[in-house]
Amino acid sequence: MSKKIAVFASGNGSNFQVIAEQFPVAFVFSDHRGVYVLERAKNLDVKSYAFELKEFASKAAYEQAIVDLLDRHQIDLICLAGYMKIVGSTLLAAYQGRIINIHPAYLPEFPGAHAIEDAWNAGVNQSGVTIHWVDSGVDTGKIIKQVRVPRLPDDTIESFEERIHKHEYQLYPRVIKELINKN
**Which DSSP letter does residue 38 get?**
H
CA distance 119 to 35: 26
3-state secondary structure labels for all residues of 70-130: HHHCCCCEEEECCCCCCCCHHHHHHHCCCEEEEECCCCCCCCCCCHHHHHHHHCCCEEEEE
Name the band, by pLDDT with cuts 50, 70 and 90, for residue 161.
very high
Q: Which pLDDT tens digit goes with each residue over 69-82? A: 999 999 999 999 99
- Residue 27 pairs with which residues in a beta bridge? 6
Q: Please give the model's pTM, rounded to 2 decimal places.
A: 0.96
Q: Which residues are annotated as a binding site?
A: 13-15, 59, 84-87, 101
So what's the pLDDT on residue 116? Answer: 97
49 sits in which H/E element: strand 48-50
Name the band, by pLDDT with cuts 50, 70 and 90, for residue 175.
very high
Name the band, by pLDDT with cuts 50, 70 and 90, for residue 182.
confident
Considering 103, 114, 132, 167, which one is annotated as catalytic?
Answer: 103
172 sits in which H/E element: helix 157-181
* Extents of the domains making up the chain: 5-181
Q: Which residues are annotated as a binding site for (6R)-10-formyltetrahydrofolate?
A: 59, 84-87, 101
CA distance 25 to 117: 30
The chain-wide mean pLDDT, for the chain, equals 96
Q: Which pLDDT tens digit goes with each residue over 113-154? A: 999 999 999 999 999 999 999 999 999 999 999 999 999 999
Q: Which pLDDT tens digit goes with each residue over 107-123? A: 999 999 999 999 999 99
Whether 103 is catalytic:
yes
Q: What superfamily does domain 5-181 belong to in CATH?
A: Formyl transferase, N-terminal domain (3.40.50.170)
In this prediction, residues 40-45 reach a mean pLDDT of 97
Q: Which pLDDT tens digit goes with each residue over 43-72? A: 999 999 999 999 999 999 999 999 999 999
| Whether the predicted pLDDT of 17 surpasses 70 | yes
